[in-house]
Amino acid sequence: MTTVAFAGSNIDRADHVRADPGAIEKLMTAHARLLSLDGLDPVVDANGALSWTSLSDASAGSELVFLGLEGDRGHFAQIPEMTPAAAFGMGKAWQTLTALSPADLATYGGARSLVSWHVRHKFCACCGSPTQIAKGGWQRDCGSESCAMQHFPRVDPVTIMLVEHDGNLLLGRQPMFPPGNYSALAGFVEPGETLEEAVARETLEEAGVKVRDVSYVVSQPWPFPSSLMIGCHALADDPSITIDETELDDARWFSRAEVADAIEASDRGEAGSSFQCPPRFAVANFLMRWWLDRG
């Protein structure tokens, strides 16, 4: 199996540099690179790779985040001026993501998650005062002396699960999906839950299916805006489905042949005869390939 998408960046996060303002300042030279972004969307060069420029192209007075090091060269991204609401969703990124190399996809994903967090956290959640960038962009500090709260980039855990019964997979489609698209069921982990409990609850809530023997498969950073997709597998004894229509348009059991056909079609950029699976960079696609490889 290949590495899951959005993992494997060539950039060293260099945590030892983040806490040293002097070290970061020394890296902010003509040798440094600035990631080109269109809002939060990636910009690619003539070769289809991420586009980088110099720090001189940053807007005057803009906040810069330190992405890390590649060799001795500092890599940065600019926090764009946009509304917090605009920092959610995929924007125009969907088409570009399929063409990026795995390393570029990972670099972009990390940068987008971090920059998006800054856009959405310009004010303190405790007292409402403006916050200032700190630790090279891996922290924001409340500007109020009476509060002085420190805020750190958050990651939201999401379980995404392949539920199996008698050699078939349970897949569903949300109302927002294009016609014919199906994917693995998924949902946020709630406070006080284990991953196993979240898998069981979400599957029961969305499809009315009880599961057992939940096991971990793989995880994937998902920068829209900043989730950690936790891929799991579970078994069901009863295939009866009761759909929560507030969550799903449909849920069905698909055979191994139907899943294999959809995966093969996705590699050709087409829909399968029974359904269209998620794109290659989605962890649901990875999970389906993992399931097929198990035999």
Read off the CATH number of the domain in which 277 is found: 3.90.79.10
Using 50, 70 and 90 to split pLDDT, how confident is the model at 2?
low
Q: Say yes or no: 105 and 190 in one domain.
A: no
Same domain, 161 and 282: yes
Structure token pair of residue 208 = 């009315």
- Does residue 53 sit in the same domain as residue 116? yes
Query: What pLDDT is attached to residue 246?
Result: 95
The two tokens of residue 246 are 């507030």
The pLDDT value recorded for residue 87 is: 85
Per the DSSP assignment, residues forming a β-bridge with 185 are 161
Q: Based on the domain organization, do 110 and 168 belong to the same domain? A: no
Provide the pLDDT for residue 88. 83
Q: Give the closest residue to 78 by CA, choosing from 56, 95, 99, 98.
A: 56
104 and 26 in a single domain? The answer is yes
**pLDDT tens-digit map of 78-105:** 999 999 988 887 777 777 888 899 999 9
Asked if 80 and 40 touch (Cβ cutoff 8 Å), the reply is yes
d(CA 185, CA 202): 8
User: How much of the chain exceeds pLDDT 90, in percent?
Assistant: 93
- Domain identity same for 116 and 181: no
Three-class SS state of 105: helix
Enter the DSSP assignment of 189. P
**pLDDT, mean of residues 220-231:** 96
Instruction: Give the mean pLDDT of 126-148.
Output: 98
Query: CA 110 → CA 15, 40, 49, 138, 228, distances in Å?
Result: 14, 12, 16, 12, 12
Query: Per the confidence metrics, is the pTM higher than 0.85?
Result: yes
What total of structural domains would you count in the chain? 2
In a domain, 50, yes or no: yes
pLDDT at 3: 79
pLDDT given for residue 90 in this prediction: 76
DSSP state of 249: S
Which of 96, 120, 144 is the C-terminal boundary of a domain?
120
112 and 171 co-located in one domain: no
pLDDT value for 291: 98
| pLDDT of residue 1 exceeding 70 | no
The overall average pLDDT reported for the chain is 95
22: amino acid identity, one letter: G
Per the structure, the complete domain to which residue 67 belongs is given by: 15-120
Q: State the CB neighbour count (10 A cutoff) for residue 49.
A: 14
pLDDT in tens, 149-207: 999 999 999 999 999 999 999 999 999 999 999 999 999 999 999 999 999 999 999 99
Cα–Cα dist 65/24, whole Å: 10
Is residue 234 a part of any domain in this protein? yes
Q: What is the pLDDT of residues 42-77, one digit of tens each?
A: 999 999 999 999 999 999 989 999 999 999 999 999
Mean pLDDT, residues 124-130 taken together: 98
Same domain, 57 and 108: yes
Say whether both 185 and 288 belong to one domain.
Answer: yes
Sheet of strand 131-134, all strands in order from the earlier edge strand to the far edge:
131-134, 139-142, 150-151
Residue 36 in any domain: the answer is: yes
pLDDT at 152: 98
